[in-house]
Amino acid sequence: MTLGPLARLELACRDPRRQQAFFGGILGLKPALGTDGPPRFVLGGVELVLRARGDALFPAHPRGDAGALLAFPVPDDELERWHRRMLTARVAVLDAPGPAGAPPRMLRIADPEGNVVELYAAR
């Protein structure tokens, strides 16, 4: 028995439209075309679905909600530009890229709901 590749990731959100603006506007992800329902983006062979919290699969929790980390490879020479873009857009930077060439080269930011988005230098 074997599993196929990951096909879909559903991210629970308190405000899917705000998340849609972040992933589409700030990160520049392309929305999935011709779909009804919650906002969706296609990431290679994986679909990212922004699903509203409060349903049977993702109930609202009074003590806080579990988060996620999404990691995206970027060219090493673009990492600093991404960092500047996040600062300009006033996105919460959790970890700034280290000195050039010092592994691991990554930028970690928080989306509007506190999930971590990691942009790392693809070598």
CATH number for the domain harbouring residue 103:
3.10.180.10
pLDDT > 90 fraction of the chain, expressed in percent and rounded? 54
The predicted model scores a pTM of: 0.85
Residue 105 lies in a domain: yes
* Range with lowest mean pLDDT among 41-45, 61-65, 73-77, 95-99: 61-65
CB-CB contact of 31 with 39 (8 Å): yes
The model's confidence at residue 65, banded by pLDDT at 50, 70 and 90, is low
**53, pLDDT greater than 90:** no
In this structure, the answer to whether residues 48 and 8 fall within a common structural domain is: yes
Task: Tell me the pLDDT tens digit for each residue of 76-121.
Answer: 889 999 999 999 999 999 999 977 666 678 999 999 998 999 999 8
Give the total number of structural domains in the chain: 2
pLDDT recorded at residue 102: 61
Average pLDDT over residues 41-66: 81
Q: Name the one residue in this structure whose structure tokens are 């919290």.
A: 53
Nearest to 97, CA basis, from 108, 87, 89: 108
- 36: containing domain: 1-55
